[in-house]
Amino acid sequence: MPAHHGHSHAPQAGHGRAFAIGIALNLGFVVIEAGYGFWADSMALLSDAGHNLSDVLGLAIAWGAALLSRRSPTERFTYGLRSSSILAALFNALLLLVAVGGIVWESIERLIEPAPVAAVTVMIVAGIGIIVNGFTAFLFMHGHSDLNIRGAFLHMVADAAVSLGVVLGGLAILWTGADWIDPVLSLVIAAVIVWGTWSLLKQSLTLSLHGVPRGIAVPDVRRALERMPGVARVHHLHVWAVSTTEAALTAHLVMPDGHPGDRFLAQAQQDLKDRFGIEHATLQIEIHRPEADGHGPECPLEQHEHSHEGHIHGGHHPHGEASHLSPQ
């Protein structure tokens, strides 16, 4: 007896204006910073310009993914294109690591052959960078539940901090005349980028492989389902990410005392949403005794050698009724 409890899953309007302003500001600053980096012969400015350029590309990719995630579901893409936000986060992390490789390579060459640096120019340009990156970060202060938005915010904050480091480095060069400070500072910038990117890379890779989103503990979800009235056992439990902001769940609930009715399913869905942030829940009710479980304890996804025969996801279970909760 299927039961559908509808609620809206439409993505938020997004940060369209923030993305547009951030891209425009940072692209303009990249041109200025790279130009003065060549003129001042500063590896720190050039490496920061390369980092900012990767962030511009990252913002553009994240914006595109945000727009794609608002596309309505189709018969081919039944979840719409929500998962494009996961791919964008993963690509952004990889893009930043590639930029780091270029920065490290150039910095090592500059350490081997130091060159004079126009410290005052470096300080002025980097000071502008603090303003540009700080303002862009302010535009993304809200919406951190979205991995893309949080990634954009953290990147801009890191850029502002890096620009501050470049200012301090220019001041140190001005005081000491030690040109080696510039490439060393560039290596520090590379380390900061890797440190800030690693978490984003791990999370986006986990989500792209249908891993459980951060903040959701499967044992806690299982216990919550098992404690619901009438539930004797929970099996075939799966949790994965639909997008960087939405999670989905499927589970089989063994309820020997009979089908609990639509109200139970609606309450279960609401509890999963309130406690764990799981918005797409599909629950299958099975009417049979745990000791006479004809399903077997394992899911075919967990035991590849098992046959799919007898694993019924709809209609009637051979031992009784089956019901689904599939929010639209």
Kindly state the average pLDDT of the residues 239-265: 89
| 106 or 266, which is more confident | 266
- pLDDT in the model for residue 159: 77
Question: 139 and 22 in contact (C-beta within 8 Å)?
Answer: yes
Measured distance between the N- and C-terminal CA atoms of the chain, rounded to whole angstroms: 17
| 28 or 9, which is more confident | 28
- Hey, CA dihedral for 322, 234, 215, 265, is it positive or negative? positive
Question: 103 and 186 in contact (C-beta within 8 Å)?
Answer: yes
Q: Residue 280: enclosing H or E segment and its boundaries?
A: strand 278-286
Question: 222 and 250 in contact (C-beta within 8 Å)?
Answer: no
Looking at every residue in the chain, the average pLDDT score rounds to 77
- pLDDT in the model for residue 149: 74
| Tens-digit pLDDT profile for residues 120-163 | 888 888 888 889 888 888 888 765 556 767 777 777 877 787 78
pLDDT at 27 over 80: yes
Question: 256 and 231 in contact (C-beta within 8 Å)?
Answer: no
- pLDDT in the model for residue 272: 94
Provide the phi-psi class of 286: left if phi over 0, else alpha when psi is between -120 and 50, else beta: beta
Helix (H, G, I), strand (E, B) or coil at 100: helix
Report the distance separating Cα 260 and Cα 264, nearest Å. Answer: 6
- pLDDT in the model for residue 298: 54
- pLDDT in the model for residue 171: 87
CA distances from 211 to 85, 207, 228 (A): 15, 5, 25
- Hey, CA dihedral for 324, 226, 278, 81, is it positive or negative? negative
